[in-house]
């Protein structure tokens, strides 16, 4: 596990009409601040990433489909510097992943249908505070084909 990354199992409440999927409440101990929430859709096999945030903290939950989330610790002072962690998220592992600044993230849709990732970040989107890297580049020593 990468230092500072939190994984919290989330509650699903199914009934005959459908389901409710909890994500984040302001009275959760891991809640920090609300900036914005958005949904990122990925099609089967497609990769989104790499991204690194310098100010905002991400809170990811996958509400539909399944993804492989890959985290790379890019923080020089971290005890897990340059470590990689993979997490599979979706209905079978419905969890909230809180990702601190300095962690490079990418994900791949690994379901047969599209995936929908919800992100409740601590700040509104600002392209100046986000660093983008090529998902096939050499910044993160990771092979998406494995």
Q: What is the pLDDT of residue 22?
A: 95
Q: In angstroms, rounded to a whole number, what is the distance separating the alpha carbons of residues 3 and 5?
A: 6
Q: If you average pLDDT over residues 123-129, what whole number do you get?
A: 95
Q: In angstroms, rounded to a whole number, what is the distance separating the alpha carbons of residues 79 and 55?
A: 20
Residue 58, C-beta contacts closer than 8 angstroms, at least 6 positions apart: 97, 98, 99, 105, 119, 121
Provide the phi-psi class of 54: left if phi over 0, else alpha when psi is between -120 and 50, else beta.
alpha
From the list 130, 61, 131, the residue with the least C-alpha distance to 94 is 61
Q: How far is CA 106 from the centre of its chain?
A: 8
Q: Is the pLDDT of residue 7 over 90?
A: yes
Q: If you average pLDDT over residues 54-78, what whole number do you get?
A: 98
Inter-residue contact 109 to 66 (CB < 8 Å): yes
Q: What is the pTM of this model?
A: 0.95
Q: What is the pLDDT of residue 66?
A: 98
Q: What is the pLDDT of residue 146?
A: 73
DSSP code of 40?
E
Q: Is the pLDDT of residue 143 over 90?
A: yes
From the list 145, 137, 146, 140, the residue with the least C-alpha distance to 71 is 140
Q: In angstroms, rounded to a whole number, what is the distance separating the alpha carbons of residues 47 and 108?
A: 4
Q: What is the pLDDT of residue 31?
A: 94
What average pLDDT is seen over the chain? 96
Q: In angstroms, rounded to a whole number, what is the distance separating the alpha carbons of residues 111 and 94?
A: 14
């Amino acid at each position: 596990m990468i230092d500072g990354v939190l994984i919290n199992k989330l509650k699903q409440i199914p009934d005959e009409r459908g389901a409710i999927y909890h994500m984040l409440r302001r009275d959760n101990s891991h809640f920090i601040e609300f900036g914005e929430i958005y949904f990122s859709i990925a099609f089967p096999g497609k990769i989104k990433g790499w991204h690194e945030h310098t100010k905002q903290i991400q809170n990811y939950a996958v509400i539909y489909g399944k993804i492989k989330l890959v985290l790379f610790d890019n923080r020089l002072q971290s005890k897990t510097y340059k470590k990689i962690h993979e997490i599979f998220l979706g209905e079978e592992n419905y969890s909230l992943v809180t990702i601190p600044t300095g962690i490079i993230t990418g994900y791949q849709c690994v379901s047969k249908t599209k995936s929908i990732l919800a992100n409740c970040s601590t700040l509104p989107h600002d392209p100046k505070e986000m660093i983008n890297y090529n998902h096939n580049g050499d910044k993160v020593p990771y092979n998406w084909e494995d």
